[in-house]
Amino acid sequence: MYRFALLVLTLLSYLNLESVQGYFPEERWNPESALLAPRVLIALICRNSEHSLPYFLGTIERLNYPKDRIALWVATDHNVDNTTTILRDWLIKVQKAYHTVEWRPLEKPRAFPDEDGPKQWSTQRYAYVMKLRQAALQSAREMWADYFMLVDCDNLLTNPDVLWRLIHENKTIVAPMLESRAAYSNFWCGMTSQGYYKRTPAYIPIRKQVRKGCFAVPMVHSTFLIDLRKEASRKLAFHPPHKEYSWAFDDIIVFAFSARMADVQMFVLNRETYGYLPVPLRAHNTLKDEADSFIHSVLEANVRNLPLEPSKNLPPPVRQPDKLGFDEVFMINLQRRADRRERMLRALREQEIACKVINAVDGKAMNISEINEMGIHMLPGYSDPYHGRPLTKGELGCFLSHYNIWKEIVERGLGTSLVIEDDLRFEVFFKRRLQNLMMEIEREGLDWDLIYIGRKRMQVDHREKAVPNIHNLVEADYSYWTLGYMMSLQGAKKLLKAEPLKRMLPVDEFLPIMFNKHPVKDYMEQFEKRNLKAFSAEPLLVFPTHYTGDPGYISDTETSTVWDNETIRTDWDRKRSAKTKEQAEISTEAQNSDVLHSPLDRTARDEL
């Protein structure tokens, strides 16, 4: 028996199973082909979305899923902008690539009778949106789609594999967790007995991806997938509300109640980064506010991801950049940091801001002879307050980069300038908030030399003095960082007159000395005139893209070598640096709570 089995195995080893031939041609064996991808209907319901459609539709085009297995169901209504035309033009160009396209435009009326503005969610608007979603769901069922996906038209699905990721979870309702500028996302972890949002300790660990996985939650919205193959999905409905429904007339709550009554659990998936969405605005906000908020979502997505591109089937958005009322906008960039330069130029272009790129001085490329030829000497007795080390070459290059800009300001006679570095991220409504601040400063006739728009506040024991009659401005105390500031002509002259190259220290230590707020008296006494008039935006308008320890963190100033000894590296700063970590906790008594806040600032803080 053993010998027979061995003979059979030997014979099989000589056979190529992929080309086994039968006695008759019909008996030839061939492998089975792969299964087709499940059929998915994607519903896009857009209103006043002209500002978001180029980028939003670009993310839909780039989904890594066979387009001939996708049906598009697209509706738009009650628009006061160009949404209908943009959608129609896009559908004409892409319709042949998709399985089917259903197009439901409503040209008129442009508003609901019971709404006061395009951002208000009135009862009639809720009802109309719920009916549209129900019609889309019914279309999916009638075409025997396997899945129904709803995507709001300002949600940016940056992960092209998101659809496959959701399908593989095998849930009746599952949403990809979307990022935002705040704690807000497209799911709830708690719900009150009346159907409203409830804060729970489970939310933040999921939102911040401290816990990763697929989690059962009482609510998902904005973007989610329904598995229509599941029997319980037949009981799901967006409209009309369930006969036992008595909660608020709100589209997402009505659907969550429907899922509860169908005994269907909702899930949120956060294993990866899947996309971004803007924080919802209030009813009194404008479409301009909404457009600016959306662009901020695009900027945030570009900080840690490949740059978002608009749809290739639409004309590129038209931008008209300006200098925000400044005589010049300087952006400092090391030539070897092309990635930072490209990201910043994109960010400025999206906000319609024109700039002059300044090639930063690469301190790492300088030798001691070059430094001596420039007449540079270190400030006697200077030692980094956290490491006890002298100046680094990176800090030297950083100082010279800013110094060269101050020289250009004086040589060109520039009254006001904005200086920004290439490793910052912008706050929402950045452009308008900065312009409003400058208009108030000019109106009040404030005498100023330097105004931080981004910094690390080092003095955290007592509050800074608010500037009367000007919103969002305080008198600056001891501060670090030079990632963003405004400089006047007289301020630049004061800095140059101090001859800092003869007594050099890091630029973010030099500036507080010049406005007489440095804690080390020995340093300040080496500069006779310390009369720089320095202020700061409050809250700040720009922040670093990365903090120490973040993935992708690179410091060209602190991770370097000592200025006069190339053999002494400072890479150890990454582990021990307190200078570049997040700001120390500011006590309640030290909060700048008496500063006047502008309407745009309050809008920016209207976050979950």
In a 13 Å sphere around the CA of 334, the CA atoms on its Cβ side amount to: 17
SS (H, E, C) 83-142: HHHHHHHHHHHHHHHCCEEEEEEECCCCCCCCCCCCCCCCHHHHHHHHHHHHHHHHHHHH
What span, in angstroms and rounded, lies between the C-alpha atoms of 157 and 155? 6
The DSSP-derived string for 210-230 is SS-SEEEESEE-SEEEEETTS
Q: Rounded to the nearest 5°, which phi and psi values hold at 360?
A: -65, 150
Tokens of 414: 């520039």
What span, in angstroms and rounded, lies between the C-alpha atoms of 270 and 345? 31
What span, in angstroms and rounded, lies between the C-alpha atoms of 421 and 425? 10
In the prediction, which pLDDT does 585 show?
57
Nearest 10 degrees: CA dihedral of 511, 517, 521, 522?
Answer: 0
Cis peptide before 468 (omega within 30 of 0): no
How crowded is residue 218: how many other Cβ atoms within 10 Å of its Cβ? 19
* DSSP type of residue 67: G
CA distances from 194 to 94, 191, 315 (A): 43, 8, 46
What span, in angstroms and rounded, lies between the C-alpha atoms of 111 and 114? 9
Q: Split the chain (608 residues) into runs of 10 and give each run's mean pLDDT.
A: 50 47 62 92 98 98 98 97 97 98 95 92 96 98 98 98 98 98 96 94 97 98 98 98 95 97 98 97 92 96 93 93 97 95 96 97 86 90 76 90 98 98 95 97 97 93 93 95 97 97 94 95 93 96 78 54 54 47 53 72 58
In the prediction, which pLDDT does 580 show?
46
Under a CB-based contact definition with an 8 Å cutoff, are residues 559 and 553 in contact? no
In the prediction, which pLDDT does 548 show?
58
Length of the chain: 608
In the prediction, which pLDDT does 14 show?
47
In the prediction, which pLDDT does 427 show?
96
Indicate left, alpha or beta for 303 from its phi (over 0: left) and psi (-120 to 50: alpha): alpha
Name the one residue in this structure whose structure tokens are 């409209």.
239
Cis peptide before 109 (omega within 30 of 0): yes
CA distances from 536 to 324, 427, 430, 455, 533 (A): 18, 15, 15, 8, 11
Taking the chain, what is the end-to-end CA distance rounded to the nearest angstrom?
75
